[in-house]
């Protein structure tokens, strides 16, 4: 499946219209229901396969952000052979008490994985915490960049955003 076909399939599966409040607090009339494409194993596998070539060559660990980045990072790990870490929004207060579970991130080149990026706020917060734990993070990779300031806010935190698709590339032409 080429990228245009993949984009069409994601659009048909996950695009919703209505009134939605995003994590950033912004209200929008269009929404990509990430769980619709993440819950479809065939579509998620095709997404991960298309994302694999976007992973920089020197990456040692893929780090998926809770919650939507977890299925994406797991599928992407299968296509790249790279180990993955699962990153919570907040370290749990019991058990291991870790922010990141799975692969060790300390002293390693880590690529943050997210599903949909609007402002990039959660990536900035999580990256700061992962860096404080010793991760070397320079990029984040997402399935969809909503083109609403994410790359700019990430650049201010020294993170480059790589994206498989954007709202523009997902929007069918009339």
118 marked ligand binding residue: yes
Compute the distance between CA of residue 119 and CA of residue 154 in angstroms, rounded to an integer.
8
To the question of whether residue 117 is assigned a binding role by annotation, the answer is yes
Q: Is 81 annotated as a binding residue?
A: no
Residue 102 labeled ligand binder: no
Containing 104, the helix (H) or strand (E) segment is: none
- From residue 8, alpha-carbon distances to 3, 147, 157, 173 in Å are 9, 18, 32, 11
Q: Is 152 annotated as a binding residue?
A: no
121 is in an annotated binding site: yes
- Tell me: is residue 89 an annotated ligand-binding position: yes
The answer to whether 61 is a known ligand-binding residue is no
**Binding site annotation covers 23?**
yes
122 is in an annotated binding site: yes
Identify each DSSP E strand in 66-159 by its residue range. Answer: 84-87, 100-102, 109-117, 136-145
CB distance 42 to 65 below 8 Å: no
65 Cα distance to chain centroid: 7
Query: Is 116 one of the annotated binding-site residues?
Result: yes
Binding residues for 5-phospho-alpha-D-ribose 1-diphosphate: 23, 88-89, 92, 114-122
Residues at the annotated binding site for orotate?
Answer: 118, 146
Binding-site positions read 23, 88-89, 92, 114-122, 146
């Amino acid at each position: 499946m080429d990228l245009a076909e993949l984009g069409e399939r994601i659009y048909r599966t996950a695009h919703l219209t209505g009134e939605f409040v995003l994590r950033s607090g912004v209200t929008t009339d269009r929404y990509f229901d990430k769980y619709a494409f993440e819950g479809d194993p065939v579509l998620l596998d095709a997404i991960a396969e298309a994302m694999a070539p976007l992973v920089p060559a020197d990456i040692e660990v893929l780090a998926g952000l809770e919650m939507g980045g977890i299925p994406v990072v797991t599928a992407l790990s299968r296509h790249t052979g790279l180990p993955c870490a699962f990153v919570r929004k907040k370290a749990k207060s019991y058990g291991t008490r870790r922010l990141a579970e799975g692969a060790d991130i300390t002293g390693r080149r880590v690529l943050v994985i997210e599903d949909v990026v609007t402002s990039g706020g959660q990536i900035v917060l999580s990256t700061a915490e992962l860096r404080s734990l010793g991760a070397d993070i320079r990029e984040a990779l997402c399935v969809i960049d909503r083109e609403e300031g994410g790359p700019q806010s990430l650049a201010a935190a020294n993170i480059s955003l790589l994206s498989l698709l954007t709202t523009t590339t997902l929007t069918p032409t009339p």
